[in-house]
Amino acid sequence: MNKIGIYFAYWEKEWEADYCYYIDKVKSLGFDVLELAAGCLPDIGSKGRQEIRKRAADAGIELTYCIGLPPEYDLACEELSVRKNGIQYVGQLLDCIHEMGGDTLGGIVYSCWPGPVVTYDEKMRSRERSIASVKEIAQKAEDYGIQYCLEIVNRFEQYLLNTASEGVDFVKEVGSPNVKLLLDSFHMNIEEDSLYQAITCAGERLGHFHIGECNRKTPGQGRMDWDEIIKALDTIDYQGKIVMEPFLRPGGQVGKDIKIYRDQSGNASEEQMDIMAANALKFIRRKLECVK
């Protein structure tokens, strides 16, 4: 059965946190994986990174990493200096993840987040620049054995890759075995004609998978067609990790960036948030068991 995880920011209002605390928490809740924000890794320092690595190993928790690149590191930018800075920065993140024994970096790692408003012609020119940047980064990902997963997101957050089909074409042009796709049920619900067809279109190029309801709540608290999603993952024999990425509470940089403008948790305490996460984990595991 797929290993299931959750993004630490489900509980947090800022993009940095005590990751060791959340490693222990998700272990106690029954998760297999904790996803971290990659952007803070360089600032933690080698000692801090090793501490996190050891805590995760001791707990039997696998770590994955995610980021939406800031505009100053836009890999599709018209300005060459910005693209070069982005390539250097992503290389630094890959160094950190390799040091921590990680195997997956995903997110908007092909342009920036949020993306600017562009014309279609500008998009196509940006696409070529992005492909060239990702090709350059891919060699280090290959050397480290890290999956470099391009997240397909909705048009309101980024303009470059909005559907699985666009992602597949992009990855084909990059031509690296380590450059794959990250599909997310929240974004798919906005952009795709069919959840099943999107996942099967990605096929063997699907390297990572995010889940959450249409309203960004935990799985099982909305109207997402989980049976269709799980059936599609089974059809392509997806063996990778499945990571919940719910966002419920407003406030802080996380609430601002994700645009959480109301408290969808019902003013939940941390203990109640834990219970919701554990219930969602049980819900998804039952769905995975039923398809087998």
Q: Which residues are catalytic?
A: 151, 245
Name the residue among 8, 15, 26 with its Cα closest to residue 251.
15
What count of other Cβ atoms lies within 10 Å of the Cβ of residue 237?
8
Q: Are 153 and 161 in contact (CB under 8 A)?
A: yes
Q: CA 245 → CA 2, 161, 178, 184, 215, distances in Å?
A: 16, 19, 23, 9, 11
Phi-psi domain of 107 (left: phi exceeds 0; alpha: psi -120 through 50; beta: other): left
Q: Which two tokens stand for residue 155?
A: 């048009």
Alpha-carbon span 110 to 132, nearest angstrom? 10
Question: Hey, what long-range contacts does 212-215 have (CB within 8 A, 24 or more apart)?
Answer: 212/184, 212/185, 212/186, 212/244, 212/245, 212/246, 212/247, 213/185, 213/186, 213/246, 214/186, 214/189, 215/264
The DSSP element (H or E) to which 104 belongs, if any, is strand 104-108
Task: Report which of 46, 142, 55 is spatially closest to residue 99, judged by C-alpha positions.
Answer: 46
- Residue 82, by phi and psi: left (phi above 0), alpha (psi -120 to 50) or beta? alpha
HSE (CB half, 13 Å, CA atoms) of 23?
18
Q: Is 20 within 8 Å of 52 (Cβ atoms)?
A: yes
> E strands within 143-205?
147-151, 179-184
